[in-house]
Structure 1
Amino acid sequence: MTKCKLGDILRIQHGYAFKSENYVDSSEYRLITLGNFADGNSFKYNDEKATYYGSDFPSEFILKEDDLIMPMTEQVEGLFGNTAFIPKTTNYTFVLNQRVGKVVYNKNKVDKYYLHYLLATNSVKKQLEARASGTRQRNISPENIYDIEVDIPDIAIQEKIGRLLYSLEEKQINNNKINTELETMAKTIYDYWFLQFEFPNEEGKPYKSSGGKMVWNEELKREIPEGWEIKKLKEIESNIITGKTPSTKNSDYYNGDIPFVTIGDIRNNMHIVYTEQTLSKEGAETQKNKYIPKGSICVSCIASPGLVGFTTNESQTNQQINSVVCSKEYNKLFLYFEIKDFFKFSSGAKTGNTFANMNKEDFSNISILYPSKEILINFNKKLDCANKLILKNSLENQELSSLRDFLLPLLMNGQVGFKEVSLAL
């Protein structure tokens, strides 16, 4: 191992200050932001908050596939040290925005994949945190990054370690792509069945286009399939639980075996397979009425309203989340998409251009156009395989993350050899 400073092996290119008045709905260029860094030290598309640029800018800020980027501002705690590779794109090109840096490295001294994981080690993260400035949102300068000390092995060893760790990440990336495509497919089916009313009739033909009877609904000011009703969420599933946080002053209440769901655990996860925080049995028992079973629908209603995900274990949540405990299995997938659409499209869920916080009463009274039990059962059968595969991929990704996190310090510190790990895998 050779001791050196990061400044000996890399340089940081600052992002460009793109002008907001030139933001457009669509263009060839899409801005990289802090939202493109995933918690697991990888790239996140963050399509819902995509920003495109429609004017001229210096060409040196155009990013290429496999360019390595890092955050220069800690928007959320723990972001420093995360890096990501720019993915291959076809419809647009990513460009380097301010508060994000491009890592330009010396290929003769460091392997890019090894560097990706080196920056994520606890040793580097602690040094980044110690050098950062600011209070509300902390910032790090290139000069402070250059001053950080690291130990690195021979370049040939770096390449082997980097490729091994990145092979785990590539599998996760592939699983995420599959899950995104599967959920998009499921949402398309939901749209056809419950928004366009083209669910299969008894003969298997599309209901509306094949002449299914439609009736006028005065409340919705539109025609709906005969027999469908407008119901409140609480009329469909009455068991709705608002979470609560046990006293943080008692450390014995935390770090146990009971998942404690917060907003970050739901974001971009249809199935919540991991939570940053856990409760002990003692902590959870202080609020016995806050348990929610496996398969409950967690919905964020404060701070970042509209995030929706299923629990995969018996859990509890904090007070920002309302959970729907479904007594009828056939309601689950329908309500998942219905609630997501409510927060996305309903004017009742927004104040101006931002989401309003929603209390339990308002959440329970969300109006839903509710179909027959038979249609819901058929909808669940239609999506059953896709839903199970999404869950399987999510669980596998969590196992891969645990394996990577276990191997990372051992390989980086030289505690185990590359050959030993390769044989074990």
Structure 2
Amino acid sequence: MKSKTAMRKKYKKIGDFIELVDERNKELQVDTLVGLSISKDFIPSVANTVGTNMANYKIIRKNQFACSLMQVRRDKKIPVALLQKFDEAIISQAYPVFQVKDENELLPQYLMMWMSRSEFDRHACFLAVGGVRGSLEWDDFCDMEFPKPDIEKQREIVKEYNTIVNRIKLNEQLNQKLEETAQALYKHWFVDFEFPNEDGQPYKSSGGKMVYNEELDKEIPEGWEVDNIEQLVAIIDGDRGKSYPSQEDFYSKGHCLFLNAGNVTKKGFDFSTVSFITKERDELLRKGKLNRNDIVLTTRGTVGNVAFYTDEINYTDIRINSGMVILRSIKKEVATFLYSLLRSEEMKQTISNFLSGSAQPQLPIKDIKKIPVIIPNDNTINAFDLKCSKIQVLIDSSNIQNGKLIGFKDLLLSKMTKVETEKEAV
């Protein structure tokens, strides 16, 4: 086997293969304005540009990079991205824009893969200077090293990586369509009241009887009720007692998954970054343990994100932290209905009306209990569950597949340090 010293000789400085680009939007010919996210993507800019001289903005073209070297130590990442979605865009002049000098020597996509690695960010954080908000100097960025195999090997690696990434994107697009379908069905049945009647016809437009409800100030189907949400579910908080885990009680593997706010997103559960507690710590906690078909609702900071703990999810032991609550239905059929209700635009608006706290928005349990909801009859809830539970199974299956694909993607990134010497190993 080759020594580490010999392997290290295969590494090259990034600065030997890139060059800065400073092309300004002087003629105002480009109007697609993008920003840079800490997740290493270009995003639509939210900056207020009223009265701004857009001629000073930098033009960035396809296969060029932009980065931010400020506050690297604080953020523990270098926001850097490769423009692929557009042929050209404009970006703030505060960002360095650079490109690969010779794409026959180095593929931009290969370099972006290297800069996506967590080890790359850790090294950049180590090099950053300037205190808590330490920045990285351009020269230090250029001195960072990477393994550069021959161009054919780069193409092979990039192709394999893109196959995984594209499959992940395809699954995300599929899930988006499925979620839109579920929400459209919820709206059709429980907002427009066009659920199937006994003859399979749309209830309201087929002359179904409606009665006026004073609390909602509108008509609802006869036999339906309006009550507070606590009539549908038990509301369970996370444990906040003396046994609540401290930072040193969390592990990358363990007996019980411990959810934090980042694990419950607008799209449901996100298990890309997880923390665990031991069986001993789990047994010390009095509440906050999930049962199947529980719904998790975030109640602090980013309020209103929901996730559904269905049978498809692989983790068998899960607890929540104190920034969320569990909504536990008596029956699974009610849980399916409630999950769609909580994801509806109407419920998002209702929740926003109950928020308290200025520095950090909060939704206390006492306020959750007051949220009014329409309660359909059992037959309609059961029929809705038959349709939507099938959609949810597809969503969960796709998410599980994406979790495995993300693992493969991370494994491929971690193996980049070895690609140069694989053919030479003996």
Fold conserved between structures, TM > 0.5: yes
Tell me which residue corresponds to 1:337: 340
Tell me which residue corresponds to 1:194: 190
Question: What are the Cα deviations for residues 21-64 of structure 1, in whole angstroms up to 9, with x where unaligned?
Answer: xxxxxxx74643427x3xxx6x5979xx9779678724974666
Cα distance change, pair 125–275 in 1 and its aligned pair in 2 (3 A) = closer
Identity %: 22
Cα distance change, pair 32–363 in 1 and its aligned pair in 2 (3 A) = same
- After TM superposition, list the pairs within 5 Å mapping 1:81-92 onto structure 2: 81=78, 84=81, 86=83, 88=85
- Contact 1:290 1:316 survives alignment (8 Å): yes
Q: Secondary structure at the match of 2:54?
A: coil
**Please, which of 250, 258, 263 is the counterpart of residue 256 of structure 2?**
258
Higher mean alpha-carbon deviation, 51-60 vs 403-412, is at 51-60
**Please, which of 223, 227, 231 is the counterpart of residue 231 of structure 1?**
227
Q: CA deviation at 1:292?
A: 1.0
1:6 aligns with 2:11: no
Tell me which residue corresponds to 1:384: 389
Q: Secondary structure at the match of 1:293?
A: coil
Q: CA deviation at 1:351?
A: 6.2
Partners of 1:365 and 1:390 in 2: how far apart?
Answer: 31
- Structure 1 unaligned residues grouped into runs of 5+: 18-27, 421-425
- Contact 2:356 2:363 survives alignment (8 Å): no
Tell me which residue corresponds to 1:321: 324
Q: CA deviation at 1:324?
A: 1.2
Question: What are the Cα deviations for residues 38-94 of structure 1, in whole angstroms up to 9, with x where unaligned?
Answer: xxx6x5979xx977967872497466666655555569976625655556489xx96
Question: What are the Cα deviations for residues 230-283 of structure 1, in whole angstroms up to 9, with x where unaligned?
Answer: 222221012523354833265477741311111111124324445521111122
Q: Give me the TM-score of the superposition, normalised by structure 1.
A: 0.80
Q: Give me the TM-score of the superposition, normalised by structure 2.
A: 0.80
Tell me which residue corresponds to 1:295: 293
Tell me which residue corresponds to 1:105: 100
- Contact 1:72 1:99 survives alignment (8 Å): no
Q: CA deviation at 1:406?
A: 2.2
Cα distance change, pair 275–284 in 1 and its aligned pair in 2 (3 A) = farther
Alignment root-mean-square deviation, CA: 3.8
**Please, which of 91, 95, 117 is the counterpart of residue 96 of structure 1?**
91
Question: What are the Cα deviations for residues 84-135 of structure 1, in whole angstroms up to 9, with x where unaligned?
Answer: 5556489xx9653577665522323321222122112344222211233567
- Structure 2 unaligned residues grouped into runs of 5+: 1-8, 26-30
Kindly provide the amino acid, as one letter, of the partner of residue 212 in structure 2.
Answer: W
**Please, which of 189, 203, 216 is the counterpart of residue 207 of structure 1?**
203
Tell me which residue corresponds to 1:269: 267
- Contact 1:301 1:358 survives alignment (8 Å): yes
Tell me which residue corresponds to 1:411: 416
Cα distance change, pair 134–207 in 1 and its aligned pair in 2 (3 A) = farther
Q: CA deviation at 1:291?
A: 1.2
Kindly provide the amino acid, as one letter, of the partner of residue 359 in structure 1.
Answer: P
Cα distance change, pair 129–76 in 1 and its aligned pair in 2 (3 A) = closer
Kindly provide the amino acid, as one letter, of the partner of residue 325 in structure 2.
Answer: N
Q: Which has the larger radius of gyration?
A: 2
Kindly provide the amino acid, as one letter, of the partner of residue 333 in structure 1.
Answer: T
Q: Secondary structure at the match of 1:32?
A: strand
1:218 aligns with 2:243: no
- Contact 2:82 2:108 survives alignment (8 Å): no
**Please, which of 148, 154, 157 is the counterpart of residue 150 of structure 2?**
154
Higher mean alpha-carbon deviation, 337-346 vs 387-396, is at 337-346
Question: What are the Cα deviations for residues 145-173 of structure 1, in whole angstroms up to 9, with x where unaligned?
Answer: 22322232222212211221221111111
Question: What are the Cα deviations for residues 389-425 of structure 1, in whole angstroms up to 9, with x where unaligned?
Answer: 11111101111111222232223323884999xxxxx
Partners of 1:335 and 1:14 in 2: how far apart?
Answer: 53
Q: Secondary structure at the match of 1:303?
A: coil
Q: Secondary structure at the match of 1:104?
A: strand
Question: What are the Cα deviations for residues 363-413 of structure 1, in whole angstroms up to 9, with x where unaligned?
Answer: 233221121121122112222332111111110111111122223222332
Q: CA deviation at 1:287?
A: 0.2
Higher mean alpha-carbon deviation, 282-291 vs 215-224, is at 282-291
Q: Secondary structure at the match of 2:146?
A: strand
Tell me which residue corresponds to 1:357: 362
- Contact 2:194 2:204 survives alignment (8 Å): yes
- Contact 1:6 1:150 survives alignment (8 Å): yes
Kindly provide the amino acid, as one letter, of the partner of residue 378 in structure 1.
Answer: A
Q: Secondary structure at the match of 1:240?
A: strand
- Contact 1:253 1:283 survives alignment (8 Å): no
Partners of 1:96 and 1:50 in 2: how far apart?
Answer: 12
1:57 aligns with 2:61: no
Q: Secondary structure at the match of 1:276?
A: coil
Partners of 1:329 and 1:76 in 2: how far apart?
Answer: 46
